[in-house]
Amino acid sequence: MKEDMVMPKMGESITEGTIIKWIKNVGDTVEKDEIILEISTDKVDSEIPTPVAGKISELLAGEGETVEVGNVIARIETDATAAEPAAKKTKAPPEPEKTPQPAKPEPQTAAPVPPPPQEEPQSTKKEGGRFFSPVVLNIARTEGVAAQDLDQIPGTGMGGRVTKKDILNYIASGKKGSQAQTERETPAPTAESPGIGGDGVEIIPMDHIRKKIAEHMVHTAHTSPHVGLFVEVNMSNVFQVRARNKETFLKKEGVKLTYMPFIAEAMVKTLKEFPYVNASIDGDNILIKHFIHLGIAVATEQGLIVPVIKNTDSLNLTGIARAINDLATRARSRKLKPDEVSGGTFSISNFGVYGTSIGFPLINQPQVAILGVGALEKRAIVINDAIAIRPMMNISLSFDHRLIDGALGAEFLQRAKEHLESYDPQLTL
Quote the pLDDT of residue 259. Answer: 96
Query: What local confidence, expressed as pLDDT, does residue 372 receive?
Result: 97
258 pLDDT more than 90: yes
Q: Higher confidence at residue 13 or residue 396?
A: 396
257 vs 111, residue with greater confidence: 257
Catalytic residue among 226, 401, 419, 424, which? 401
pLDDT score at 176:
43
Q: Say how far apart CA 117 and CA 292 lie, in whole Å.
A: 55
Strand ranges inside 155-313, DSSP E: 226-234, 279-282, 285-288, 294-296, 298-300, 303-305, 308-309
Q: Rounded to whole angstroms, how far apart are CA atoms 242 and 258?
A: 7
Average pLDDT for residues 399-410, to the nearest whole number?
Answer: 97
- DSSP E strands, 239-293: 279-282, 285-288
| C-beta separation of 368 from 403 below 8 A | yes
Residue closest to 128 by CA, chosen among 107, 146, 103? 146
Q: At what angle do helices 317-332 and 236-253 cross, to 10 degrees?
A: 70
Structure confidence at residue 137 (pLDDT): 76
308-316 own/partner pairs: CB under 8 Å, 24+ apart = 308/340, 308/341, 308/342, 308/343, 308/344, 309/264, 310/343, 312/264, 312/268, 313/268, 313/271, 313/272, 316/265
Give 199's pLDDT tier (boundaries 50, 70, 90). confident
Q: Which residues pair with 288 in a beta bridge?
A: 279
Classify the C-alpha dihedral 61-63-64-67 as positive or negative. Answer: positive
Torsion sign over Cα 320, 325, 331, 335: negative
Per mean pLDDT, which range of 183-192, 199-208, 383-392 is the poorest? 183-192
Question: Which residues touch 319 (CB under 8 Å, ≥6 apart)?
Answer: none
**What sign does the CA torsion over 48, 51, 56, 61 have?**
negative
CATH topology of domain 1-91+109-113: OB fold (Dihydrolipoamide Acetyltransferase, E2P) (2.40.50)
* Candidates 33, 79, 151, 405; catalytic one: 405
User: Domain 210-421 belongs to what topology?
Assistant: Chloramphenicol Acetyltransferase (3.30.559)
Between these two residues, 88 and 426, which has the higher pLDDT value? Answer: 426
Active site annotation includes 405: yes
- E strands present in 93-247: 125-127, 130-132, 226-234
Convert the pLDDT of each residue in 68-99 to its tens digit: 888 899 999 986 544 444 444 444 445 444 44
Express each pLDDT in 310-343 by its tens digit.
Answer: 999 999 999 999 999 999 999 888 888 878 888 9
| Type and span of the H or E element at 43 | none
Q: Give pLDDT, residue 397.
A: 98
CA angle 307, 308, 311 (to 5 degrees): 160
Domain ranges within the chain, ordered by starting residue = 1-91+109-113, 210-421
Task: Tell me the per-residue pLDDT of 138-186, one tens digit each, with 9 for 90 and over.
Answer: 678 778 788 778 878 887 765 567 777 788 888 887 744 444 444 444 4
**pLDDT value at residue 180:** 42
Q: How does residue 427 score in pLDDT terms, banded at 50, 70 and 90?
A: very high
| pLDDT confidence of residue 129 | 54
Whole-angstrom CA distances from 208 to 38, 51, 303 are 11, 25, 10
- Does position 124 have pLDDT exceeding 50, yes or no? no
**Is-contact 297 347, C-beta < 8 A?**
yes
Check if 400 is active-site.
no
**C-alpha dihedral (85, 86, 87, 93), degrees to nearest 10:** 110
Rounded-to-integer distance, Cα 155 and Cα 151, Å:
10
On the question of pLDDT at 261 being above 90, the answer is yes
